[in-house]
C-alpha cells in the first residue's frame, strides 16, 4: 500500500458519508416563515421591499440560474421550511400536483380535513356551497310525501336539482337539522 492511500480513502469515505447524509436530510431555514410555513426573507431593492421564499433562492444559488417565470420551486421532501437544494425541483403546478398525488398527499376520503375534524366542517347555511336555508330544508322534508309527491316539482320550486332534493329527503345532506 502506498503512503497516504489509506488516509485518502478514509477522507473520501467520510466526505461521501457527509454528502449522502446531507442529500437525505432536510436543511431547515432558521429565520422567519410566511403563513404557509415557507422560509422567507425581505430584500430592499431600489427602496422597495420584496419578499422572497428562501427555498427558491437556495435553488437559484445552487443551480446558478433563475427559476423561469411562472414555474414553481417544489419540495421532494414535502417540507416547506426545507432549503436543501437536493430536495428541490423546478416544475409547473401540474408537476407539483402530480408529485402530491403520487405520494398520496392529496385530501380525499378519510384523509380530508372534514373527515378528520367533522365538528369543524361548515354545515347548512354556513357552507358556502349551500343554496338553501335551514327553514327551506325543513319545508322540503315536510312537503315531500304530504303535499308534493314529486322530487322534480320540489326541485323546480326551490331552484335546486332533483338529486339535491333526494339527498335532503334521505337525510344524506343537512343531517344536522
Q: What is the mean pLDDT of residues 114-141?
A: 81
More confident position, 96 or 127: 96
Are 29 and 102 members of one domain?
Answer: yes
Q: Kindly state whether residues 61 and 95 are assigned to the same domain.
A: yes
Residue with cell 436530510: 25
User: Is residue 132 domain-shared with residue 97, that is, in the same domain?
Assistant: no
pLDDT at 115 over 70: no
| Comparison of pLDDT for 69 and 145, the residue scoring more | 69
Pairing of strands 72-75, 88-91: antiparallel
14 within domain boundaries: no
Taking only the tens place, the pLDDT of each residue in 50-100 is 899 999 999 999 999 999 999 999 999 999 999 999 999 999 999 999 998
Mark whether 126 and 163 lie in a shared domain.
Answer: yes
Q: What is the pLDDT of residue 1?
A: 45
Cell of 53: 421564499
Between 140 and 17, residue with greater pLDDT: 140
Please indicate, yes or no, if residue 176 is contained in any of the structural domains. no
pTM confidence score: 0.53
- Confidence bin at 45 (pLDDT 50/70/90): confident
Q: How confident is the model at residue 4 (pLDDT cuts 50, 70, 90)?
A: low
Domain assignment present for residue 140? The answer is yes
Q: Which domain holds residue 140?
A: 122-169
The answer, yes or no, to whether residue 138 has pLDDT greater than 70, is yes
CA 58 to CA 62: how far, in whole Å? 6
Q: Would you say residue 114 lies in a domain?
A: no
The answer to whether residues 53 and 90 belong to one domain is: yes
- Please check whether residues 99 and 34 belong to one and the same domain: yes
Q: E-strand spans in the chain?
A: 40-45, 48-53, 72-75, 88-91
CATH number at residue 90: 3.90.75.20
- pLDDT at position 119, please? 72
| pLDDT above 80 for 169 | yes
CB-based contact 78:71 (threshold 8 Å) = no
pLDDT at 176 over 90: no
- Decide if pLDDT at 106 tops 80: no
**What's the domain count of the chain?**
2
- d(CA 150, CA 62) in angstroms, rounded, equals 66
Amino acid at each position: 500500500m502506498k503512503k497516504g492511500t489509506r488516509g485518502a480513502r478514509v477522507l473520501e469515505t467520510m466526505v461521501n458519508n457527509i454528502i449522502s447524509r446531507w442529500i437525505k436530510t432536510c436543511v431547515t431555514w432558521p429565520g422567519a416563515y410566511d403563513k404557509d410555513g415557507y422560509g422567507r426573507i425581505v430584500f430592499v431593492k431600489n427602496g422597495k421591499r420584496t419578499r422572497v421564499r428562501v427555498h427558491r433562492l437556495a435553488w437559484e444559488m445552487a443551480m446558478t440560474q433563475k427559476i423561469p417565470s411562472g414555474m414553481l420551486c417544489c419540495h421532494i421532501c414535502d417540507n416547506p421550511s426545507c432549503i436543501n437544494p437536493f430536495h428541490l425541483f423546478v416544475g409547473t403546478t401540474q408537476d407539483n400536483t402530480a408529485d402530491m398525488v403520487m405520494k398520496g398527499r392529496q385530501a380525499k376520503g378519510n384523509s380530508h380535513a372534514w373527515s378528520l375534524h367533522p365538528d369543524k366542517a361548515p354545515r347548512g347555511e354556513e357552507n358556502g356551497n349551500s343554496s338553501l336555508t335551514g327553514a327551506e330544508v325543513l319545508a322540503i322534508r315536510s312537503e315531500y310525501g304530504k303535499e308534493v309527491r314529486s322530487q322534480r316539482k320540489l326541485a323546480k320550486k326551490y331552484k335546486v336539482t332533483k338529486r339535491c332534493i333526494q339527498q335532503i329527503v334521505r337525510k344524506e345532506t343537512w343531517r344536522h337539522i
